[in-house]
Structure 1
Amino acid sequence: MKDLKLPAGWAWARLGELGEYVNGRGFKKSEWSETGRPIIRIQNLTGSGSAFNYYAGTLEERHTVHPGDLLVSWAATLGVYIWQGSEAALNQHIFKVKPFIDRSFLRHLIDYKIQELLAASHGSGMVHVTRSKFDELPVAIPPLAEQQRIVDTLEGGLSRLDAAADAVGGAKRRIKPFIASVLDRTALGALSADAPVQHATDGSQRLLAGLSSKRFDYAALPSLPEGWFWRRSSDICEFISSGSTPKSHLMYAGSGDVPFLKVYNITQDGRVDFTNKPTYVDRETHEKQLRRSRVRPGDVLTNIVGPPLGKTAVVPDQYPEWNINQAIVAFRAGHEVHPEWLSLALRSPIVLGMLQKTAKATAGQFNVALSTCRELPLPIPPMSTQLDLVAQSTELLEVSDRFASQVALISLRSHHLRQATLRRAFTGKLVSQDPADEPASVLLDRIRTERKAQGDRLKRGGPRLRKTAGPDSPPPPPASSTPSATAVQQELPL
């Protein structure tokens, strides 16, 4: 990389020498409190979790985060953030950064280098970047004045991209509720010509009279349109059976006699996707050991182990026979119900919600019993209505799918444009160079001199100097009487 020709005034540096990167503190559960400073964890930065733990004890300044501080998460999810909350405590796996160059420039530079840091990360579970890989990452640095010009130009363009990304994100968030609404309105007859729904005294539950269930309150089911009835799934299906899984040496990746479906082969949008890590079993295993888990085209599959629950699809006719693992249940529709209607009803929030309420949580997994699936109540309209509503819902869901595809395409283009903009910024092509700018090499020499002097003072037992320059200011020249930035934290075994 250092063989690349740099623009005039630019120089190569290592990421670790451009700032002081202080790792957070590991807080024990016994130290958590109901009051005090919120403890910033990675999920609080990414938005995947909004709840905070708190710390009421004494905290070193280096582990204290103030509004506006620059933070970098280096484990699980790599990212760069400006802290917008109140004064807080910094958890481990996050750096608090004190820049030695323009702070905004360094923030965007690290953001641009995230992919390189990810490529250098390791760990099969929670990936993380070692301190040495972080510190040694080579970066090209422009003069300080050009850094500030780049930031001014860059943030104008990125703010427009961020606004577009927010709009796309809002559109994506509306897709799922729209699909849920279509499925529920269809399953309960709101889209049917038989609507409006009758009063609560109607007879839509009468075919469940005399039937009992420990899991479902049949008498509390919502009313359905004229001619619709709630039916127990075992009464309208030829069979309901879960799959099983053979020993690993009886399963073959890529090719074989009979396709063997796992939960990941059922998509969230109601399809079987056998291109995803296809697995097969041989004919003998299919017909003997797995004979009770054989399925055929038209059977309806849903997963009973999650999260997430509710992945449901009709078996396609790609193969004459299939097999399923133990995390999937197969429903074979009887003469009163069409497979597509059965699939639609099982995907609807009202039916899925009933199943989810019965799920038992074990070691982070949700499990639904096969007997529960057999007692599950389903809304069943006349066959002609089923076919009409399946056609209507299919059309609406196809519109939603096309919209989702367009949103995904726009999101991808926005990402590529953002990366292209950052690439121009950090290769010297976003703004012009000014020969009057102090070269970056001079700035870097000043930083290195100050850090060496700081290290020498610490070795002699001298006082740690306080940083008095602003957060966007580089360290002053050695001859200046202004105190320099504190030394970088000693390398930690991250």
Structure 2
Amino acid sequence: MSDKKLPKGWKIVISSEIMDIRDGTHDTPKYVTENGIPLITSKNLKGNDIDFTKISFISEEDHFEISKRSKVENGDILFAMIGTIGNPAIIKGDANFSIKNVGLFKKNEAKILPEFFVNFLRSSFFGKQLSERKLLKGTTQRFIPLGNLRKIEIPLPPLETQQAIVSKIEELFSELDKGIEDLKTAQQQLKTYRQSVLKWAFEGKLTNENVKDGELPKGWELVKTIDVIKIINNGYTPKSQFLSQDSGEIPFIKVYNLNFNGTLNFKKNPTYIPKANHEKDLKRSICIPGDVLINIVGPPLGKVSIVTDQFPEWNINQAIVMFRPNENVISKYIAYYMQNTFTTNWLEGTSKATAGQWNVKVSTCREIPFPYCSVKEQHQIVQEIESRLSVADKMEESIAQSLLQAESLRQSILKKAFEGKLT
């Protein structure tokens, strides 16, 4: 960056020239189980704020030792140094906590306003500097050394100009945030509508008139899944030496390959097993195109995918249950029913929770209450669902695109700000 490209009165400064920059402990202090002093790590910096909901605690003694080097105070700026780099946050109010793997920019309002500097750190202007000047280190996990935090180049105007820029950014961001809030509200409304459509579908209200609440249409009956879906099995995970990545004989589906909308994503870390294992040890969990898969280990539950015809045969691990369609029931009817909030809630309610994890038995999956109607009406129901959800899908795509554009606009505002073109 060159001073020549900046407005009159601006200059390029190095962060360490105008601020005292520290970092927190990199050691693991002796943790206190329930009480003590909060220890803020890089993971606690989220959404440009400090998240105190999931924190560890340290003793007063550890806090005292850490504070000798990196005492945090109101108005200082925190910066995640490892993992998701950045997420800068200004400390507001009580600062009775310590930091670990977090950069600490001590406030110096005589030189640079905290709000001005934080907006700079949030900008792609700064992000570009990280990559071009190779300030980040590490391969498996990226981090920025303290020494490199002290080398940041900052386009710095006079304090009066800084304040004017901060005020203009806040004004523009306020308008932008209101638009984003409206878009996210619409997103949530579409999710609610989607679940309403599924609820109406399996109450028979999409294909029958005058259906009373709490009653099924004439000709329908509430059965157990095993009554109409004869093959309901879970998988099994073979020993690691039988698993191969990216290529192999038989595709092996894991929970991360399942989506919440009925589609399958086998492009994500594709795993394979030998055909011999598939046909012998894992014979009971052989899957074919059209089978419906759900995850039985969570949270979250509710992942549902229909097996595609990309391969003639597949297999699944122990955290997935397969439902095979037959002459009684079609794939999409099963899949949409499994996406229904009622079904997910029922599975959660009957699951066994251990150490914060839900585990659903395959025997439970054979007992799921299932609204059964003729195959002809199942096709009609699927058609009615898809005609409604296709409209919702298009609206969701439009909203997602608008949110991306909003983020681009945010970065455009910040870019102009630090080029001196905003005021």
Query: How far apart are residue 417 of structure 1 and its match?
Result: 1.8
Give the structure 1 partner of residue 119 of structure 2: 108
Give 1:29's match in structure 2, choosing from 24, 32, 36.
Answer: 32
Q: For residues 190 and 307 of structure 2, what CA distance do their matches in structure 1 show?
A: 25
Q: Which amino acid aligns with 1:15?
A: S
In structure 1, C-alpha distance between the alignment counterparts of 2:153 and 2:346, rounded to whole Å:
55
Q: CA deviation at 1:20?
A: 4.1
Asked if 1 retains the 8 angstrom alpha-carbon contact of 2:183 and 2:403, the reply is yes
Map residues 194-209 of structure 1 onto 2, 5 A cutoff.
Answer: 195-197=210-212
- What TM-score do you get using the length of structure 2 for normalisation? 0.80
The 3 A distance-change label for structure 1 pair 52 and 330 is closer
* 2:99 counterpart residue number: 92
Q: For 1:330, what is the secondary structure of its paired residue?
A: strand
Contact 2:261 2:339 in 1 (8 A): no
1:376 equivalent to 2:384? Answer no
> 5+ unaligned residues in a row in structure 2: which ranges?
none
Residue in 2 aligned with 1:435? Answer: none
Listed one character per residue, the Cα deviations across residues 218-254 of structure 1 (whole Å, up to 9, x for unaligned) are xxxx643333222111111121111122333433333
- Does structure 1 retain, via aligned residues, the 8 Å contact 2:115–2:166? yes
Partner residue in 2 for 1:120: 136
Q: State the secondary structure of the residue aligned to 2:394.
A: helix
The number of residue pairs the alignment matches comes to 401
Partner of 2:332: 340
Larger radius of gyration: 1
Q: Could you tell me whether the CA contact under 8 Å between 1:172 and 1:407 is conserved in 2?
A: yes
Structure 1 match to 2:232: 240
Q: Deviations over 1:402-428 (max 9, x none)?
A: 122111111111111211221222233
Q: 1:3 to 1:274 in 2, by over 3 A?
A: farther
* Deviation larger for 369-378 or 72-81: 72-81
Partners of 1:411 and 1:27 in 2: how far apart? 43
CA distance in 1, matches of 2:215, 2:14: 68
CA distances 1:133-156 after superposition (whole Å, capped 9, x unpaired): 322222232333433343343333
Tell me whether 1:80 sits opposite 2:88 in the alignment.
yes
Superposition pairs of residues 78-227 of structure 1, within 5 angstroms:
78-82=86-90, 87=94, 89-93=96-100, 95=104, 97-99=106-108, 100-112=111-123, 113=126, 120=136, 129-193=144-208, 195-197=210-212, 223-227=215-219
SS in 2 for 1:136: coil
Report the alpha carbon displacement of residue 82 of structure 1 after superposing the two structures with TM.
4.6
Structure 1 pair 27–148 and aligned structure 2 pair: CA distance change class (3 A): farther
Which sections of structure 1, spanning at least 5 residues, go unmatched?
199-221, 432-494
Conserved 8 A contact 1:231-1:380: yes
Instruction: Please name the residue that 1:398 is paired with.
Output: 390
Q: TM-score, normalised by structure 1?
A: 0.70
Is the partner of 1:421 in helix, strand or coil?
A: helix
Task: Provide, for residues 380-401 of structure 1, a one-character-per-residue CA deviation record: whole Å limited to 9, x for no partner.
Answer: 1233322221111112222222
Q: Cα–Cα, structure 1 residues 103 and 3, in superposed 2: closer, same or farther, change >3 Å?
A: closer
**Per-residue deviation at 1:331?**
0.6
Secondary structure, in 3 states, of the residue corresponding to 1:72?
strand
Once the two structures are overlaid, the 10-residue window that deviates more, 296-305 or 41-50, is: 41-50
Query: For residues 54 and 274 of structure 2, what CA distance do their matches in structure 1 show?
Result: 52
RMSD over aligned Cα atoms: 3.6
In the aligned structure 2, how far is the partner of 1:150 from the partner of 1:29? 44
Partner amino acid, structure 2, of 1:336:
N
Any idea what SS the aligned residue of 1:397 has?
A: helix
Give the distance between the partners of 1:106 and 1:145, measured in 2 at CA.
Answer: 14
For residues 153 and 373 of structure 1, the distance between their equivalents in structure 2, rounded to whole angstroms, comes to 57
> Cα offset for 1:96?
6.8
Q: Deviations over 1:31-85 (max 9, x none)?
A: 727xxx999786586489675889998999986765xx3542415553133566x
Per-residue displacement from partner, 1:167-207 (whole Å, max 9, x unpaired)?
22222333322222222222233433154236xxxxxxxxx
1:17 Cα deviation after fit: 3.8
Kindly provide the amino acid, as one letter, of the partner of residue 423 in structure 1.
Answer: K
The residue type paired with residue 136 of structure 1 is: K
Percent sequence identity over aligned pairs: 32
